Amino acid sequence: MYALISMFVALILLVALLHFKVKIGRAMMISAFALAILLRVTPVKFWNQILFEWNENPLGQTTGYLLVSLTALVMLVNVLGIALKETGVAQKLAPAIHGLFRSRRFALAAIPAMMGLLPTPGGIMLSAPMVRELGDHIKVERSRQAAINFFFRHQWETVWPLFPSIPLIQGMFGISAFALISHNIAISLTGIISGVIFLLLFGIPPKGKDKHTHAQFTHNLKNFAHAFWPILFVAILYAATNIPPAIGLIIALPIFLYVHKISVKRWPAFFKSGFNIDFALLILGALLFKVNLEAGNAIDQVVVFLSEINMPQNFVIFFLPMFVAFLTGLTMPTVAITFPFLLPYIGTGQDAKIALETLAFSGLICGLFITPVHLCLALSASYFETPLTKIIIKILGPVIFIACAGILVAKFFG
C-alpha cells in the first residue's frame, strides 16, 4: 500500500509543478527525485539496478543507451525542423501535403499515423515538425495539433509486429499472431474512428481559399518529398538494418544541408540551435522515474496488494496494465511486469481467452494515453508549446471509447 501511495504522491507533485508553470523537464526531474526519497531508493540501490539492467538486458533497453539515443534523437529532430525552415522547404510543405491529400483533416492524421509504423522511443518527434507546420498553416490550435500528432502516432501498438510487445505477448500466451492481431485490431479501429470524431471533426477552421493548395500533383509531390525524404530515409534504415533513428538523422542531415546548398560554416549553428536543455532533462527525468520504480520494487508490491484485496477478475485484468502504464508511460515494461501476473486469468495455448488479453491491452493503452510521464506526451507538450493537461483533455473521449471496446470484446468473445 505504501508503494502505491508513494507513486501517487510523485505523480501529484509532477502535475502540481506543471500547474505552477515549472518547465516540464525540471518538473520531471523533481518528481523522479521525490519518488526515490519516498521509495527509499538509496544511491547504492539505484546503482545496483543500473548494473542489473546492464548485465541482464539488451543494450537497447538499458537506461544509459536510452538516455543518449533519445536525447540525440530529440535534438536532431529539432535541427531538422530548423533546417526545414531555413531552407524554405517547410513553407512549401503545408500546401504540398494539403494538395496531395486534399483533405486537411486526413493530412494531419496521416502524417503521424505513417510515422507510427516506426516503433522507436521518442519517434513522435519525427512527425511533429510536419504536423506543426501544417497545423499552423491552416490555423489549428496548438493543443489540438499536439493531440492529433500524439494520438494517431500510437494507433498501431496493439497490432503492428515491429512493436516488441506483440511478439512478447504472443510467445507468453502461446497463441498465433493472427489470433492476437484479429482480437487487438478492435482497439486500433476504435482508436482511429474515435480519434476522427473527437480530434478531426471539430476544431479545424473552415477551409479558406489558397491558390497553392491544389497545385499540380507532381509539384506538390516534389515539395513533399523534399521535406519527407530524411524521415523516410531514417524509417527505412531502421526497419531494414535496425540502425537507431538518431544515427539515421546524423547521416541524413548533412546530405539535406548539402543538397540545399547550406554552407558548411553554418552547420554548427544549426546543431547548436537544436539543443534544448529542458528536453534533455525531460528524458533523463522519465528514465530516472522508471529506474526508481524498479529499484524500489514498487510494481511488485502493487501487484501483491491487488491480489490480497480480492479485486474482481476483469477489473484486475483491465486496471493492472492501465495502472502500471500510467506510472511508467512505457509499453514494454508494462507488458513484461503485468502480463505474467495475468496468465492464470487469461490462460495459455488453446485454452487462452484472447479476448481477455484484448481487455488487458486496452487498459494498457488507456493508461499510456493519459499519463503525464509518457515520454511522447511530455515531448508533445514541450514541442507544441501547449499545456500537457490540454492534450490529455482532448483525447479523453477516444480513451473512453478504447476502454469500452476492450470491455465489449471481453464480454462477447471472452
Instruction: Give the pLDDT confidence of 163-172 residue by residue, as tens digits.
Output: 777 877 887 7
What is the pLDDT, as a whole number, of residue 404?
96
Measured distance CA(282)–CA(382) in Å, rounded: 9
What is the pLDDT, as a whole number, of residue 355?
93
Q: What is the average per-residue pLDDT within 41-53?
A: 92
What is the pLDDT, as a whole number, of residue 149?
93
What is the pLDDT, as a whole number, of residue 212?
47
**% of the chain at pLDDT higher than 70:** 93
pLDDT at residue 213 is higher than 50: no
Of these ranges, 55-69, 185-199, 265-279, the one predicted with the greatest mean pLDDT is 185-199
Rounded CA Rg of the chain: 22
Q: What is the average per-residue pLDDT within 402-408?
A: 96
Measured distance CA(342)–CA(346) in Å, rounded: 6
Mutual angle of helices 142-153 and 104-115, in 10-degree steps: 50
What is the pLDDT, as a whole number, of residue 369?
94
Greater model confidence, 404 or 171:
404
Average pLDDT, the chain: 83
pLDDT at residue 317 is higher than 80: yes
pTM (2 d.p.) = 0.71
342: left (phi over 0), alpha (psi -120 to 50) or beta: alpha
Measured distance CA(327)–CA(117) in Å, rounded: 25
The C-alpha cell of 342 is what?
A: 495475468
What is the pLDDT, as a whole number, of residue 205?
81
Per-residue pLDDT band at 318 (split at 50, 70, 90): very high
- Long-range pairs for 286-290: beta carbons < 8 A, 24 or more residues apart: 286/28, 286/32, 286/329, 286/373, 286/375, 286/378, 287/63, 287/66, 287/67, 288/29, 288/32, 288/33, 288/36, 289/10, 289/28, 289/31, 289/32, 289/35, 289/328, 289/373, 290/63, 290/328, 290/330, 290/333
Per-residue pLDDT band at 142 (split at 50, 70, 90): very high
Find the DSSP H helices in 260-312.
267-273, 277-295, 298-308
